[in-house]
Amino acid sequence: MGAVRTPLIAGNWKMNLDHLQAVAFVQKLHWTLKDAKHEDGSVEVAVFPPFTDLRTVQTLLDADKIPFALGAQDLSPKDSGAYTGDISGVFLAKLDARYVIIGHSERREYHHETDEVVASKVQAALRHGLVPVICVGETAEDLEKYGASAVPVGQLKTALADVPADADIVVAYEPVWAIGSGQAATPDQAQDVCAKLRAVVAESLSADAAERTRVLYGGSVKAANIASFMREPDVDGALVGGASLVVDEFAAIIRYQKHVGV
């Protein structure tokens, strides 16, 4: 595409690590990357801890001037009111969260979030200056029934229906059939879908938006395969699940450039 997009490596901790464990993890990750002289801004690192960890991690990042971005794992489509257990984008913005994951495959499956719910959460994020990390992807059944890319393309079109052309967004492609299986998509498969998702951004928002939007791959990402994905022109980073819970492994993923040769 020719655009210069700072790669984003995002660690989604899901329902793991309490606030004390999160502090220890962030400190160790910071030390590991600092010792390797890999906090030069060439790769953006973002961590997505559980809600109960957010304030503690935010305080640590600020106090120690750790150059990681903070993200939340979900938010409510509502800004306030009688919605027990929900988390408002207002609250996340007050914690200096930069990102929020929306439409993760687990939310879609276990909480039955529809494409329309995902779209409403994207709007909620944008209202409060949060960058939505819009997750799209297909199950093995979807893949067999509709073919590659059809489902994630449809999901993204709905999510972007009312998004302004100048909005700052991130798109994350999750092949659900690969998550947790140890079997990732091939780099060619990831590139094909990510390119089609970028085309959706161009069609729904603008060509400029497509050029600047980062499209991530997420599905059994590990240190051993990250470089092969990052060589692809339309893969701008990774949404990392289980591997982001192991400091040395996550640090190696962040340091993928030494394997890519850039």
| Parent domain of 216 | 8-260
Average pLDDT over residues 175-191: 83
Structure tokens at 158: 């709905």
Q: Is the pLDDT of residue 38 over 90?
A: no
pTM of the entire predicted model: 0.95
CB atoms within 10 A of CB 22: 21
Residue that is written with structure tokens 């967004």 in the block: 169
Degrees (nearest 5) of the Cα angle 212, 213, 219? 145
Told to judge if 128 belongs to the known catalytic residues of this protein, a careful annotator would answer no
User: Catalytic one among 106, 113, 138, 174?
Assistant: 174
DSSP state of 68: E
State the virtual CA torsion across 221, 227, 232, 238 in degrees, nearest 10.
Answer: 30
Q: Which has the closest alpha carbon to 97: 78, 119, 74, 113?
A: 74
Give the model confidence (pLDDT) of 40-71 as tens digits.
789 999 999 999 999 999 999 999 999 999 99
Degrees (nearest 5) of the Cα angle 207, 213, 250? 160
Distance, CA of 56 to CA of 59 (rounded, Å) = 5
Structure tokens at 147: 């073919």
CB atoms within 10 A of CB 113: 20
User: Catalytic one among 104, 106, 113, 232?
Assistant: 104
Average pLDDT over all residues of the chain: 94
> Does residue 167 belong to any structural domain of this protein?
yes
So what's the pLDDT on residue 237? Answer: 98
> Does residue 21 belong to any structural domain of this protein?
yes
> Does residue 57 belong to any structural domain of this protein?
yes
How many CA atoms within 13 Å lie on the side-chain side of 73? 20
So what's the pLDDT on residue 65? Answer: 96
Number of domains in the chain: 1
Q: Is the pLDDT of residue 228 over 90?
A: yes
So what's the pLDDT on residue 262? Answer: 45
Element (H, E) at 119: helix 115-127
Distance, CA of 130 to CA of 208 (rounded, Å) = 20
> Does residue 2 belong to any structural domain of this protein?
no
DSSP state of 65: T
Told to judge if 203 belongs to the known catalytic residues of this protein, a careful annotator would answer no
Q: Is the pLDDT of residue 199 over 50?
A: yes
pLDDT above 90 as % of the chain: 87
> Does residue 114 belong to any structural domain of this protein?
yes
> Does residue 108 belong to any structural domain of this protein?
yes
> Does residue 3 belong to any structural domain of this protein?
no
Give the model confidence (pLDDT) of 92-132 as tens digits.
999 999 999 999 999 999 999 999 999 999 999 999 999 99
221: domain CATH number is: 3.20.20.70
So what's the pLDDT on residue 233? Answer: 97
> Does residue 1 belong to any structural domain of this protein?
no
Structure tokens at 121: 């959460």
